[in-house]
Amino acid sequence: MDEADNARREIAAARARMTEIAVELARRAEPERLKQLGREKADDFKQMARERAQDKFAQVKGQAKERVMKQAYEWNDQVRQNKGRPLIGTVLGALLGRTR
């Protein structure tokens, strides 16, 4: 009988474990829980996408600012280089105009 009792206890323990597993699986499959899990995943994805977009925007903004500043410096240099030319042309024109 000892073997029969052991077998019954093992069967009862196995049934109890199976019941716990079935209850847990039922809990995990509840529609409200699945909806909440889906909302959390969607929120996480939106947050990640938002952060990536902000990082990319900052990167592009920085590159654009660098390009604008570079162009501004180039134009400034061109203006400085050409500043004296109109003055020289005016002086030469005036001198040549007097000699005729």
Give the pLDDT means over successive 10-residue stretches in the chain (100 positions): 88 95 92 93 97 96 90 80 67 66
Which DSSP letter does residue 83 get?
A: S
pLDDT at res. 20: 96
Q: What is the pTM of this model?
A: 0.50
> What is the b/e burial string over 12-31, where b = at least 16 CB atoms within 10 angstroms of the residue's CB?
eeeeeeeeeeeeeeeeeeee
Could you tell me the residue ranges of all domains in the chain?
2-99
Q: How far is CA 20 from CA 26, 91, 97, in A?
A: 10, 102, 109
State how far the Cα of 14 lies from the Cα of 22, in Å rounded to an integer: 12
Q: What are phi and psi of 29, to 5 degrees?
A: -95, 5
pLDDT at res. 99: 57
pLDDT at res. 36: 94
